[in-house]
Structure formats: structure tokens, C-alpha cells
Amino acid sequence: MRKPNIRSAAADLAFASAAFVLGLAGAPLAYAALAFLGALLAWGWTRREALARMDWRMRATNGALALGMLAVVLALLYWIGLTFGGHT
């Protein structure tokens, strides 16, 4: 059985929380984009060992799926934060 990567989960939770707080504070969309960029870099860094063992096609597929999922989750949390903060 594979050991869970707690660092990856903590980084994902931190960036999701940051997107929500940015929305709650009514921060400009550029700050949410910076949070997304940070989340993408953290995703690549915390999973670098597993990604290095993959074939380039699988790595590209996983990267594209991660990019899409990160964008959707962080955008949704930013929007929920905007709504709860009364900024919409």
C-alpha cells in the first residue's frame, strides 16, 4: 500500500484556503491568479519524485488534469469567498 503524501495534502489545503480568503476579502482576480500559480508550482514540487518515474505522455496527461482541477477548485473557492464576503 502506498504511503499518503501529507505535504501535498497540506499544500493543496493551504492554497484552497488562500483562494477562499482572497475572495472573502474581495481581493482582485490577479491575486487569485497568483494563488493558482503557487498551487501549480507546489503541485509539481511535492509530486516531483512520482512524476519523474512516469513516461512523458502520462506526465503530460497528469499535468493537464491537475491544471484543470486546480483551476476549477481554486476559482470556485474564490467565487464562494466573494459571495460570502458580499462582493458580488
In tens digits, what is the pLDDT along the chain, a chain of 88 residues? 777 788 889 999 999 999 999 999 999 999 999 999 999 999 999 989 888 999 999 999 999 999 999 999 999 999 999 999 998 7
Distance CA 29, CA 75 (A): 10
Half-sphere exposure at residue 12, Cβ-oriented, CA atoms within 13 angstroms: 15
pLDDT, tens digit, for every residue of 10-35? Answer: 999 999 999 999 999 999 999 999 99
Q: How many domains is the chain partitioned into structurally?
A: 1
Residue 17 placed within a domain: yes
In a domain, 1, yes or no: no
Which domain, by its residues, includes 80?
Answer: 6-84
